[in-house]
Chain A
C-alpha cells in the first residue's frame, strides 16, 4: 500500500470553477502535511502547508482530517494559471522522510 495516495485526474475545469483534490495517507503518526505545485518540466514548489485547524491563502483552502487520514485542497475561482500538477506531501513524526503522492493534474480551460 502506498504511503500517500491521490487521484491522478486529470481534472479539466472551466475558468472560475471551484475544484477540490483529496489525498489519503496511511501512517496515522504523520506529523506535517503540505501541498506542492509542479508546473510541466519544472520543480515542485510549496503551495501551502496544511494545519490541523485548516488554513486559507487567498483562493486556496487546505484542510486536514486526522481521524480519516486525508487532506484536501480547494481552489476557488480557478484561473488559467492554476493549471499544474498538485502534489500531496506527508512527513512522519520521526526521521526525515517525506512521502509524495503521484500528483493530481489540473487544467483550467478558457
Chain B
C-alpha cells in the first residue's frame, strides 16, 4: 500500500525558530511536493522536487527552503519561522509522468 509519512502531525514553534518538516515515501516516486493549505486559499505549492537533489520553486517559496538528498525523503525548512507561516503543511509524491498525487497526513504548524 502507498505510504507517505510526515514526521510531525502537530508542532508549536516560536517566531524566529528554525523548523524542519520531514516527509518520507516508500513508493520509489521521483516527484515530491510540499504544499500549504489555508482556509479560503486552498493548497498552494511551496516547492517541488522532480528527482534526487533537484528542486524547483512553486508559487510561494519565500521563507522556505527544501532538501532532497535521498529519493524517499523530502524536507521542508523554515529558516526563521514567522506567525504568517502558521498553516497545515502537506507533503505529496507522484510517480514521474503518471497519475495522481499521494498525500501524507499533514503537519499542522503553529508559530507563536
Contacts and interface: CB of A to CB of B under 8 A. Distances in A.
Nearest to A102: B42
Chain B CB within 10 Å — which of A8, A96, A101 has the most?
A: A96
B96 to A, nearest CB: 9
Interface range on chain B: under 10, 10 to 19, 20 to 34, or 35 or more?
20 to 34
A61 B28 CA distance: 31
B90 A100 contact: no
B48 A34 contact: no
Interface in A9-51: 32, 34, 41-46, 49
A81 interface: no
Contact of A44 (B40, B90, B94, B99): B90
Interface residues of A, number: 19
Nearest to B99: A49
A100 B106 contact: no
B91 to A, nearest CB: 9
A42 B42 contact: no
Interface string B36-62: 000011110100101000001010000
B31 interface: yes
A44 B40 CA distance: 16
B100 A46 contact: yes
A97 B35 CA distance: 11
Interface in A26-83: 32, 34, 41-46, 49
A102 B42 CA distance: 4
Contacts of B102: 46
A101 B103 contact: no
Interface of A: 8, 32, 34, 41-46, 49, 87, 89, 96-98, 100-103
